[in-house]
Amino acid sequence: MLNALLDRVLGLSSIPPISTKHFFLKVKIMKIKALEWFGVITAIIYSMMVALNIGVEFVGFLLLLISAISIGLWAYLGQHRGILLLQFFYASAGIIGMVRWY
């Protein structure tokens, strides 16, 4: 049952369940996707907080740093070197923003 649920969530229903190894591969993929989407969501919230100029810029820059770490881990695990390099600059922008707004 858990296998079928993971198949639906990950969109891997075309791959027949073979073994426990197959199950752990799907769990690993799910964790990597979670890093990616957590980073995307925090980046969206960050950009809206800063763009709205409602006085929560420090929290926004903190979210930028968290997003950069999350997407950076995703990029490292997936060997997306260009995105990983970009996340170093986003992380440094988050740190600079927090220091300047504090």
What's the DSSP call for residue 102?
Answer: -
* pTM score, whole prediction: 0.75
Least confident of 25-29, 36-40, 44-48, 83-87: 25-29
Contact (CB, 8 A) for 71 and 59:
no
Q: Is the pLDDT of residue 24 over 80?
A: no
Q: Is the pLDDT of residue 94 over 60?
A: yes
User: Could you tell me the two tokens for 40?
Assistant: 């995307």
Domain boundaries of the chain, sorted by first residue = 31-101
Residue 29: the pLDDT is 84
In 29-58, which positions are buried (b, 16+ CB within 10 angstroms) versus exposed (e)?
Answer: eeeeeebbebbeebbebbeebbeeeeeebe
Contact (CB, 8 A) for 66 and 42:
yes
* 16 — pLDDT class (breaks 50, 70, 90): low
Contact (CB, 8 A) for 102 and 62:
no
Contact (CB, 8 A) for 37 and 10:
no
Q: Is the pLDDT of residue 22 over 90?
A: no
